[in-house]
Amino acid sequence: MILKRWLVGDPLKTAQAADQRLSKTLALAIFSSNNISSVAYATEEILLVLVLAGTAAIAWSIPVSLAILFLVLVLTISYRQIIYEYPEGGGAYTVAKANLGELPSLAAAGALMISYVVTVAVSIAAGIAALTSAVPSLFVHREALGLVTILFIVIMNLRGVRESGQFFSIPTYFAIGGLSLLVVVGVVRSLYDATPVPLVSTPVEVSGGVETLTLFLILRAFAVGCSAVTGMEVISNGVKAFRVPESKNAATTMIWMSVILGSLFMGVSWLAYYHGILPKADETVVSQLARVTFETGVIYYGVQIGTMILLILAANSAFAGFPHLASILARDGFMPHQMASFGDRLVFSNGILILGLFACVLLVAFEGDTHALIPLYAIGVFVSFTISQSGMVRSWLKRKGDHWRKKLLVNGVGAFTTGVATLIIATTKFWDGSWIVLFLVTILIMMFRGIRSHYKAVKEQITLTRDSRPPRPRHNLILIPISGVNRSVIRAVDYARSRGGDIKALLVDVNKEETALAEIQWAQWGCGVPLIVLPSPYRSILGSIMDFIEEQRQKDPDCWITVVIPEILPARWWQNILHNQRALMLKASLLFKDRVVLTDVPFHLTK
């Protein structure tokens, strides 16, 4: 408990929830870090595909980047409409639930939850890659560094939304400032440089030889570059985290985020093309651009540190989105109910911990390799994009309202473009990992429905109906299993006598001498409670007691049986291994017996 308070902080009162709301400045740092951080690797992923057709093919990186920029514009306008129409948050899940039905809404939720887990793993892996680009000796420790980083972000998020936002905002803006400086200085130099820089002439070694530049290859480049638009939905999922007026502040933050993303992404893509930058295994494209622009000096290392910080903090936006989405699903009965409960610091602690755990598993499974994780990244996000835009189209067709045709056109274009992008990603990256996401979405839908069915069954079985009648009084048989006569046993007898009812003590005969001694002591200390000695030819204490209880249940089907268990609790935790665990085994055996109630009477040792 002391360690928890030191790491997480003191509990916050429910009345303080309003104080935890975010300003636009803090919200931009929390919600947009994932989206903006994709600048550090989206261009690189495009180049990794195009270079398969030779260095001359990297000229196609500009048209591909422009297509992605158009997608950013469409999604920005579309999600601003969602923010105003569904201010309760939940994004694609809420939209689909209201307009498309249960199955599409669960598909959107499953895709989003997977994308949040992948976001954390990709962001941390990319951040560590930025670090190892500057300090190559750390490359072999990238997995360990990634796990430690995830743990740190989990702890910071458990401290509360506002506190984590204040902590992460300064390094986030420092990182955005570093990348902005790189783009502005680089683009200005490229515009005023009289001597154009030729493309790199040295061909990159490609396993299997150079491919032919085909439409399919360009579509593959577009598919991996679509990682630049991941995170566009996070703000719409967490509208309730903003200060009043929530929708207006969220929509404004959405515009800020998109302008920063579009400017930096196109800037990096242009500079990579202009300087003929090609991806390397041991150095990122941003690192190469920083070396070309600033050489290896203080500003270069500042850009690298800023990029690393931004990539790492990109995981923080997932910790803002995943718990909120899980809480909404929990309120609808599709996730465990405890996911909807606030923790001590007015955050959804269970969601934060689960996200951190699965992100660690994913990071280790893919050995902290960003390029291996990227194929898992975009497909889940684009499935949710397509479902949300389709849901909004259905909404405008049903409700109409002011300017509904213009709004319908915006969301229609959004549904079409994201649908096409989803098909491209699913087909071009299917065997690279997209199939894993589609398979997991199916599993999650089954899990959501299974949880919902369980809660419905529980409600049906425990709900009182008109035909329900108060139960009539029943006989209560109190049984006290003992292995001898001592202070803990007498304490349990004292408790049983205070409850009233028919009380009996049970002693299993496994040793004639010890049984005889116990009978003598019981006559003196048993307080008049009858002692029943149970035979045990095979020395099975637990079996004999269970047989007796079952016999009583069969004899009187209307009888309650209360088993009072005397249990000795040592003063030190390690001393438990020195005692037998008969009480624990008895409790485990009786827990699922109908009409059997367990009562534990502890006797605390002092040393």
Domains of the chain: 19-194+210-455 (1.20.1740.10), 476-604 (3.40.50.620)
Tell me: pLDDT of 5 over 70: no
In the 8-state DSSP scheme, what is residue 226? G
Nearest 5°: phi and psi at 535?
A: -70, 150
The pLDDT, as a whole number, for residue 473 is 64
Nearest 5°: phi and psi at 411?
A: -70, -30
- Tell me how far apart the alpha carbons of residues 153 and 7 are, in angstroms, rounded to a whole number: 12
106 confidence band (pLDDT: 50, 70, 90):
very high
Q: Which residue has the higher pLDDT, 33 or 545?
A: 545
- Tell me how far apart the alpha carbons of residues 327 and 343 are, in angstroms, rounded to a whole number: 12
| Pairing mode, strands 476-482 and 560-569 | parallel
3-class secondary structure per residue, 347-391? CCHHHHHHHHHHHHHHHHHCCCCHHHHHHHHHHHHHHHHHHHHHH
pLDDT, tens only, 282-296 = 777 888 888 888 887
Instruction: Write out the H or E segment, with its range, that includes residue 325.
Output: helix 298-331
Do 86 and 325 touch, CB atoms closer than 8 A? no
577 confidence band (pLDDT: 50, 70, 90):
confident
The set of residues, in sequence order, having a beta carbon less than 8 Å from that of 468 and lying 6+ positions away, is none
Which residue, among 202, 178, 377, 378, has the nearest Cα to 268 in the 3D structure?
178
* Mean pLDDT in residue range 519-532: 90
The set of residues, in sequence order, having a beta carbon less than 8 Å from that of 192 and lying 6+ positions away, is none
Q: Which residue has the higher pLDDT, 406 or 447?
A: 447
In sequence order, what DSSP letters do the residues of 184-225 get, joined into one string? HHHHHHHHH-SSPPPPP-SPPP-TT-PPP--HHHHHHHHHHH
Average pLDDT over the chain reads 82
Global pTM value: 0.74
In the 8-state DSSP scheme, what is residue 511? -
Instruction: Write out the H or E segment, with its range, that includes residue 504.
Output: strand 502-509
- Tell me how far apart the alpha carbons of residues 461 and 463 are, in angstroms, rounded to a whole number: 6
Tell me: pLDDT of 22 over 80: no
Helix (H, G, I), strand (E, B) or coil at 531: strand
> How is residue 212 written in tokens?
């032919």
The pLDDT, as a whole number, for residue 20 is 66
The pLDDT, as a whole number, for residue 474 is 74
Tell me: pLDDT of 549 over 50: yes
Instruction: Write out the H or E segment, with its range, that includes residue 458.
Output: helix 435-462
Tell me: pLDDT of 442 over 60: yes
Tell me: pLDDT of 252 over 60: yes
pLDDT, tens only, 393-415 = 888 888 887 778 888 888 888 88
With 0-12 / 13-18 / 19 or more C-beta atoms within 10 angstroms meaning exposed / middle / buried, residue 315 is: buried
Which residue, among 46, 356, 75, 80, has the nearest Cα to 227 in the 3D structure?
46
- Tell me how far apart the alpha carbons of residues 77 and 85 are, in angstroms, rounded to a whole number: 13
* Mean pLDDT in residue range 442-456: 92
- Tell me how far apart the alpha carbons of residues 555 and 327 are, in angstroms, rounded to a whole number: 47
Tell me: pLDDT of 351 over 80: yes
Q: Which residue has the higher pLDDT, 21 or 82?
A: 82
* Mean pLDDT in residue range 232-253: 84
In the 8-state DSSP scheme, what is residue 240? G
Do 81 and 411 touch, CB atoms closer than 8 A? yes
Q: Which residue has the higher pLDDT, 432 or 487?
A: 487
* Mean pLDDT in residue range 177-198: 79
The set of residues, in sequence order, having a beta carbon less than 8 Å from that of 530 and lying 6+ positions away, is 503, 504, 505
Instruction: Please name the residue that has the structure tokens 């055996």.
Output: 589
With 0-12 / 13-18 / 19 or more C-beta atoms within 10 angstroms meaning exposed / middle / buried, residue 234 is: buried
Do 233 and 112 touch, CB atoms closer than 8 A? yes
Helix (H, G, I), strand (E, B) or coil at 459: helix
- Tell me how far apart the alpha carbons of residues 113 and 50 are, in angstroms, rounded to a whole number: 30
With 0-12 / 13-18 / 19 or more C-beta atoms within 10 angstroms meaning exposed / middle / buried, residue 207 is: exposed
Beta bridge partners of 531: 505
Tell me: pLDDT of 255 over 70: yes
Do 362 and 117 touch, CB atoms closer than 8 A? yes
Helix (H, G, I), strand (E, B) or coil at 13: coil
| Pairing mode, strands 560-569 and 531-535 | unpaired
In sequence order, what DSSP letters do the residues of 58-112 get, joined into one string? GGGHHHHHHHHHHHHHHHHHHHHHHHHH-TT--HHHHHHHHHT-HHHHHHHHHHH
Do 563 and 590 touch, CB atoms closer than 8 A? yes
With 0-12 / 13-18 / 19 or more C-beta atoms within 10 angstroms meaning exposed / middle / buried, residue 80 is: buried
Tell me: pLDDT of 201 over 50: no
In the 8-state DSSP scheme, what is residue 242? B
Amino acid at 129: A
The pLDDT, as a whole number, for residue 94 is 86
> How is residue 29 written in tokens?
């740092």
372 confidence band (pLDDT: 50, 70, 90):
confident
pLDDT, tens only, 303-347 = 888 887 887 777 787 887 888 888 889 989 999 988 888 776 667
159 confidence band (pLDDT: 50, 70, 90):
confident
Which residue, among 385, 383, 418, 316, has the nearest Cα to 37 in the 3D structure?
316
With 0-12 / 13-18 / 19 or more C-beta atoms within 10 angstroms meaning exposed / middle / buried, residue 319 is: buried
- Tell me how far apart the alpha carbons of residues 138 and 129 are, in angstroms, rounded to a whole number: 9
> How many DSSP H helices and E strands does the chain contain?
22, 5
The pLDDT, as a whole number, for residue 2 is 64
Do 330 and 338 touch, CB atoms closer than 8 A? yes
